[in-house]
Amino acid sequence: MSTETLILDGKAVSDDLKVKLAVKVEQLKAKGVTPCLATILVGDDPASATYVRMKGNACQRLGIESRKIELKASTTTEELIAAIRQLNEDSAVHGILLQHPVPHHIDERAAFDAIAIEKDVDGVTTLGFSQNAFGFADYPSCTPAAIIAIMDYYKLPIEGKHAVVIGRSPILGKPVSMMLLNRNATVTICHSKTNNLGDIVAQGDIVVAAVGKPKFIQGEWIKPGAVVLDAGYNKGNVGDVDYEACAERASAITPVPAGVGPVTIATLLKHTVEAAERTLKS
């Protein structure tokens, strides 16, 4: 790795966020409101169970209540939607997170869209996604928001830069592309049908990897001096970027673990606290 490569420390960014959040949680509690995040896990996928547990633990450490709803893998779309509606109507719950992916037989889009917009702290509803695209979402999708938060923490410029995003999922690739566009980057979105991927990535001043394939982004693709943000999280704590090789050429890079992941969780907590604050204003 080049000695000049800046390691974008997600732990530092998330700690900074959490210090500010702890103050807000205390202020809310003094007013009789305990922020509460409800997480819904359908089925017994071990990775999803781990993610939900990590989110619950992070809530507890900050004094945020976490309510875990665990549903069996055979849950129908209708049953899941009914569970979400109950949480929508529960005034003690401020944020709802439906852990993705849900079992294949469930209509995930319908389930996401059942979440009330004021509790959609992960920006997964069609309305939340659209608001983010317009640039005025209260709660943009957490991982995209984490990527932007890391860039802002390190004062890395976005405006005028060519950002290449690899991946176009509705929770990651698309919303982060919109956020970069709204910050005046020129954005290219790549996906599984993109031809000459390496040539396109090589044009990026900013490269966002959101592919779901370990070490997929090659060092030789990276333009010297580019900023590389790795949203990937694969088995064995490996990102979507070939870290060592990309770090040789990048000016700044997020590691995996301790890059985008912890900031994503801190962003979820931030959104939950903000949702609780809004209930006092309404």
Active-site residue, 55 included: yes
Q: Cα separations (Å) of 165 from 5, 203, 204, 218?
A: 21, 11, 9, 14
Contact call for residue 108 and ligand NAP (CB under 6 A): no
Rule CB under 6 A: say whether 233 interacts with ligand NAP.
yes
| CA angle (14 as vertex; 13, 20 as ends), nearest 5 | 100
168 in a labelled binding site: yes
Question: Considering the rule CB under 6 A, would residue 190 count as an interface residue with ligand NAP?
Answer: yes
* Helix pair 260-281, 142-153: axis angle to 10 deg: 110
Per CB under 6 A, the list member of 171, 185, 202, 222 interacting with ligand NAP is: 171
Under the binding rule (CB under 6 A), the answer on residue 178 touching ligand NAP is: no
- Clarify whether 24 is annotated catalytic: no
Query: Does the footprint of ligand NAP cover residue 235 (CB under 6 A)?
Result: no
Contact 143, 176 (CB under 8 A): yes
Nearer to ligand NAP, 36 or 97 (CB): 97
Q: In the window 151-170, what residues touch ligand NAP (CB under 6 A)?
A: 166-169
Q: How many residues bind ligand NAP (CB under 6 A)?
A: 26
Q: Could you give the string, one character per residue 212-231, with x where binding to ligand NAP holds by CB under 6 A and - elsewhere?
A: xx-----------------x
The residue among 231 and 252 lying less far from ligand NAP, judged by its C-beta, is: 231
Q: Which is nearer to ligand NAP, 123 or 261 (CB)?
A: 261
179 binds ligand NAP (CB under 6 A): no
- Kindly state whether residue 17 participates in binding ligand NAP, applying the rule CB under 6 A: no
Interface with ligand NAP by CB under 6 A: which range of 70-78, 88-96, 122-130, 207-215? 207-215
Is 135 marked as binding a ligand? no
Catalytic residue among 9, 113, 120, 122: 122
Q: Please say which residue, 155 or 235, places its beta carbon nearer to ligand NAP.
A: 235
Residue 212 assigned to a binding site: no
Separation of alpha carbons 21 and 172, rounded Å = 24
Tokens of 252: 């700044």
Catalytic choice (99, 161, 240, 270): 99
Q: C-beta of 35: minimal distance to ligand NAP in Å?
A: 20
141 in Cβ contact with 129 (< 8 Å): yes
Q: Which residues are annotated as a binding site for NADP(+)?
A: 167-169
In the complex, the residues that contact ligand NAP under the rule CB under 6 A are 143, 166-169, 171-173, 190-194, 197, 210-213, 231-234, 240, 260-261, 264
Q: Which residues are annotated as a binding site?
A: 167-169
